[in-house]
Chains A and B, each alone.
Chain A
């Protein structure tokens, strides 16, 4: 099936779940990534139970610090 993941459309195995997708895409610090499918957030605990469907749009949102180096 085709998924658009982080803006790139590619072929993925049917039935792939979000946890497997995160591993396949080699996401840095996967335990802290936020995932959305078709502009809806996937709850972090339900990655293994959530499988995108053909044509879905998947985004990864990452924690990112900032310009100030103190604190």
Chain B
């Protein structure tokens, strides 16, 4: 694919990098990423990947923008309060880079929709806050053989790992089952500094870029942890669990399932199951 003069200028700082070049830029432009959750992590991920020229960015979220989101979800602005998050995210991304095709998926992921949802994409990014969704995304990506980036943030800390099929442990190797509801604090309960989401989301965006250009080492078999208070990173080696229920030698999980169904009534059914 020949880049236009405008694209050569827009992506000049990418292209000048030995690891990217025109070839790498074309790989980015041909890339298809799905970001699940247009929140604190999803915001910087979508914005940096859009700016880098990733060709197709899917954003899945069923929520509307709330005033309390704006402390960290920098893809949304004050004027977006009340708007669908996927619409607000799509508008922001299109403003950053009209080259990018944004697919707005107004839904919460569930076992019923996740396989179809992830199918057209090359790289999946988990920007969700709850453990049933994180396990669902892991299981679906392992079963569909899709690479994905997992991350979590809370208070002043964050962590991320990358799964590549056949190349290392999955999220379920590390954490076998989700903790019971409310057993582990969430950002809503414990708080989080917005810039922490920015650090971790930006690192997830970097993993996606590296995946597409095929350079460097991904966080496969490693968990990178970040503590903003001590300003320290640690890379912890993760073994693969041979008896993992989904990626092990004799998997017992062969299709995705929901640990908890979203709480739905007739009013919110469409939001939960996403069929507009």
Question: How many angstroms from the CA of A65 to the CA of B183 in the assembled complex?
Answer: 12
Q: Mark A48-71, 1 if CB is under 8 A from B, else 0.
A: 000000000001011111111111
Q: Report yes or no: A64 in contact with B157, Cβ–Cβ below 8 A.
A: yes
Q: Mark B58-81, 1 if CB is under 8 A from A, else 0.
A: 000111000011001100000000
Q: Report yes or no: A65 in contact with B152, Cβ–Cβ below 8 A.
A: yes
Q: Report yes or no: B223 in contact with A61, Cβ–Cβ below 8 A.
A: yes
Q: Report yes or no: A65 in contact with B179, Cβ–Cβ below 8 A.
A: no
Stretch among B6-14, B18-26, B127-135, B207-215 lining the A interface: B127-135
A2-30 interface (Cβ within 8 A of B): 6-7, 29
Q: Report yes or no: B184 in contact with A65, Cβ–Cβ below 8 A.
A: yes
Q: Report yes or no: B152 in contact with A63, Cβ–Cβ below 8 A.
A: yes
**Count of chain A residues with a beta carbon within 8 Å of a chain B beta carbon:** 23
Q: Report yes or no: B126 in contact with A66, Cβ–Cβ below 8 A.
A: yes
Chain B residues with Cβ under 8 A from A71's Cβ?
A: 108, 128-130, 132-133, 262
Q: A56 to nearest B CB, angstroms?
A: 14
Q: Is A46 part of the binding interface, using a Cβ–Cβ cutoff of 8 Å?
A: no
Question: How many angstroms from the CA of A28 to the CA of B73 in the assembled complex?
Answer: 27
Q: Report yes or no: A61 in contact with B174, Cβ–Cβ below 8 A.
A: yes
Q: Is B93 part of the binding interface, using a Cβ–Cβ cutoff of 8 Å?
A: no
Q: Report yes or no: B157 in contact with A68, Cβ–Cβ below 8 A.
A: no
Query: Given A32-B184, A61-B223, A71-B108, does the pair A66, B175 have CB atoms closer than 8 Å?
Result: no
Q: Is B145 part of the binding interface, using a Cβ–Cβ cutoff of 8 Å?
A: no
Question: How many angstroms from the CA of A69 to the CA of B61 in the assembled complex?
Answer: 11
Query: Given A32-B184, A59-B236, does the pair A67, B175 have CB atoms closer than 8 Å?
Result: no
A-B contact list, 18 entries, CB within 8 Å: A7-B234, A34-B175, A39-B237, A41-B174, A41-B241, A61-B175, A61-B223, A65-B154, A66-B127, A66-B129, A66-B134, A67-B42, A68-B39, A69-B129, A70-B129, A71-B130, A71-B133, A71-B262
| A residues lining the B interface (CB < 8 Å) | 6-7, 29, 31-32, 34, 36, 39-41, 44, 59, 61-71
Instruction: A36-B237, A64-B152, A67-B41 given; name 11 further pairs at CB < 8 Å.
Output: A29-B179, A32-B184, A34-B175, A44-B176, A63-B152, A65-B131, A66-B127, A67-B43, A67-B197, A69-B129, A71-B133
